[in-house]
Structure 1
Amino acid sequence: MKPDIPTAEPSVFSTNDRTECPPSLGLSVLLLAGFVTIFDLFVVNVAIPSIQAGLAANLSQIGFIVAGYELAFGVLLITGGRLGDQFGRRRLFVAGMAGFTVASLLCGFAPTIEFLIGARVLQGLTAALLFPQVYASIRVNFSGDDSRRAFGFLGMTLGLAAISGQILGGFLVEADIFALGWRVIFLINLPIGLFAIIMARFIPETRATERPFLDLPGVGLVSLALMFLLVPLIESPTLGWQMWSALSLAIAVALFIGFYHHQEWRSRAGHQPLVDMGLLRQARFAKGGALVLLIYSTSSSFFLCFALLAQTGFHLSPFEAGLVFVPCSVAFVVLSMAAPKLVARMGPKVIAVSALVYALSFAAMIAQVWLAGADLVVAHLIPVLVFTGGAQAMIMTPLLNLVLGFVEERQAGMASGVISTLQQAGAALGVAAVGILFGTVVSGDVGGQSQSGLYACAFVSAMSYNFLAAFIAAILLISMARFSRVS
Structure 2
Amino acid sequence: MLGGFITVFDLFVVNVAIPSLQADLGAGFAEIGLVIAGYELAFGVLLIAGGRLGDRYGRRRLFVLGMLGFAAASLLCGVAPDATSLIVARFLQGATGAILFPQVYALLRVLYDDAGRRRAFGLLGMTLGLAAIAGQVFGGLIVESDLFGLGWRVVFLINLPIGLAAACFSNAIPESRTPDADAVDWIGIGLATLGLTLMLVPLLEGPNTGWPLWTWGCFALSTLTLAIFLAWERSLVHRNGAPAIDLKLFANRRFALGMIVVLAIYSTATSLFLCFALLVQSGLGLTPFEAGSLFAPASIGFVAASLTAPRLVRRFGDHAIAGGALIYAAGILWLVVKVGGLAGPDDAWSLLPALVVFGFGQGLSMTPLLNLVIGFVEERHAGMAAGIVSTMQQVGGAFGVAVVGIFFVRLLAEHPAGGEPGVDRYAAAFSGAMLYNLSAVLIAAVLILWIAGARRA
- Give the alignment's TM-score, normalised by structure 1: 0.92
Alignment partner, residue 158 of structure 2: 188
Contact 1:49–1:311 (Cα < 8 Å) also in 2: yes
Name the CA distance, whole Å, in 1 between partners of 2:4 and 2:283: 33
1:267-282 map, 5 Å: 267-282=237-252
**Equivalent position SS for 1:377:** helix
Match of 1:407 among 377, 380, 396: 377
Alignment CA distance shift 1:449-1:68 (3 Å):
closer
Matched letter for residue 169 of structure 1: G
Alignment CA distance shift 1:211-1:372 (3 Å):
closer
Match of 1:467 among 421, 438, 443: 438
Name the CA distance, whole Å, in 2 between partners of 1:373 and 1:246: 39
Does residue 347 (structure 1) correspond to residue 313 (structure 2)? The answer is no
**Equivalent position SS for 1:453:** helix
Shift of 1:209: 3.1
Contact 1:374–1:453 (Cα < 8 Å) also in 2: no
Matched letter for residue 430 of structure 2: F
Contact 1:59–1:237 (Cα < 8 Å) also in 2: no
Shift of 1:371: 4.0
Name the CA distance, whole Å, in 1 between partners of 2:182 and 2:258: 27
- Give the alignment's TM-score, normalised by structure 2: 0.98
Name the CA distance, whole Å, in 2 between partners of 1:148 and 1:268: 38
Does residue 53 (structure 1) correspond to residue 23 (structure 2)? The answer is yes
Shift of 1:373: 5.9
Name the CA distance, whole Å, in 1 between partners of 2:40 and 2:298: 22
Structure possessing the higher relative contact order (Cα contacts under 8 Å, 6 or more residues apart): 1
Name the CA distance, whole Å, in 2 between partners of 1:89 and 1:197: 13
Contact 2:284–2:345 (Cα < 8 Å) also in 1: no
Alignment partner, residue 13 of structure 1: none
Alignment partner, residue 163 of structure 1: 133
Name the CA distance, whole Å, in 2 between partners of 1:194 and 1:256: 38
Match of 1:86 among 36, 39, 56: 56
Does residue 328 (structure 1) correspond to residue 328 (structure 2)? The answer is no
Contact 1:35–1:161 (Cα < 8 Å) also in 2: yes
Alignment partner, residue 262 of structure 2: 292
Alignment CA distance shift 1:257-1:335 (3 Å):
same
Match of 1:250 among 193, 215, 220: 220
Match of 1:382 among 349, 352, 359: 352
Contact 1:97–1:196 (Cα < 8 Å) also in 2: yes
Deviations 1:160-197 (A, max 9, x none): 11111110100100111111110110010011111011
Match of 1:212 among 182, 185, 194: 182
Name the CA distance, whole Å, in 2 between partners of 1:87 and 1:34: 20
1:16-165 map, 5 Å: 31-165=1-135
Contact 2:192–2:229 (Cα < 8 Å) also in 1: yes
Name the CA distance, whole Å, in 1 between partners of 2:426 and 2:34: 20
Deviations 1:405-459 (A, max 9, x none): 0001111111111111100000000000111111011223234785111111111
Name the CA distance, whole Å, in 2 between partners of 1:464 and 1:193: 39
Alignment partner, residue 25 of structure 1: none
Matched letter for residue 341 of structure 1: R
Name the CA distance, whole Å, in 2 between partners of 1:453 and 1:238: 21
Name the CA distance, whole Å, in 1 between partners of 2:363 and 2:379: 26
Matched letter for residue 419 of structure 1: V
Alignment partner, residue 481 of structure 1: 452
Deviations 1:255-303 (A, max 9, x none): 1111111111011111111111111121100100000001100000000
Deviations 1:332-369 (A, max 9, x none): 11111111121012100001111112112211211222
Bigger mean CA offset, 94-103 vs 210-219: 210-219
Alignment partner, residue 275 of structure 2: 305
Alignment partner, residue 432 of structure 1: 402
Name the CA distance, whole Å, in 2 between partners of 1:202 and 1:98: 17
Name the CA distance, whole Å, in 1 between partners of 2:338 and 2:346: 8
Shift of 1:232: 0.2
Shift of 1:375: 8.5
Contact 2:141–2:288 (Cα < 8 Å) also in 1: yes
Name the CA distance, whole Å, in 1 between partners of 2:121 and 2:5: 13
Contact 1:110–1:116 (Cα < 8 Å) also in 2: yes
Match of 1:264 among 211, 221, 234: 234
Name the CA distance, whole Å, in 2 between partners of 1:183 and 1:374: 28
Number of positions where the alignment pairs a residue of Structure 1 with one of Structure 2: 456
Contact 2:412–2:421 (Cα < 8 Å) also in 1: no
Deviations 1:294-317 (A, max 9, x none): 110000000000000000000000
For structure 2, the residue ranges without an aligned partner over 5 or more in a row are none
Alignment partner, residue 428 of structure 2: 457
The percent identity for this pair of structures is: 52
Deviations 1:10-48 (A, max 9, x none): xxxxxxxxxxxxxxxxxxxxx011100110010000000
**Equivalent position SS for 1:446:** coil
Shift of 1:374: 6.4
Q: Name the Cα RMSD after superposition.
A: 1.3
Deviations 1:444-487 (A, max 9, x none): 323478511111111111111111111111111122222334x2
1:439-450 map, 5 Å: 439-447=409-417
Deviations 1:354-401 (A, max 9, x none): 111211221121122224466881111110110000000001110000
Contact 1:266–1:272 (Cα < 8 Å) also in 2: yes
Contact 1:374–1:450 (Cα < 8 Å) also in 2: no
Contact 2:16–2:288 (Cα < 8 Å) also in 1: yes
Name the CA distance, whole Å, in 2 between partners of 1:479 and 1:239: 40
Matched letter for residue 88 of structure 1: G
Name the CA distance, whole Å, in 1 between partners of 2:55 and 2:80: 34
Bigger mean CA offset, 419-428 vs 210-219: 210-219
Does residue 234 (structure 1) correspond to residue 207 (structure 2)? The answer is no
For structure 1, the residue ranges without an aligned partner over 5 or more in a row are 1-30
Contact 2:285–2:345 (Cα < 8 Å) also in 1: no
Contact 2:414–2:425 (Cα < 8 Å) also in 1: no
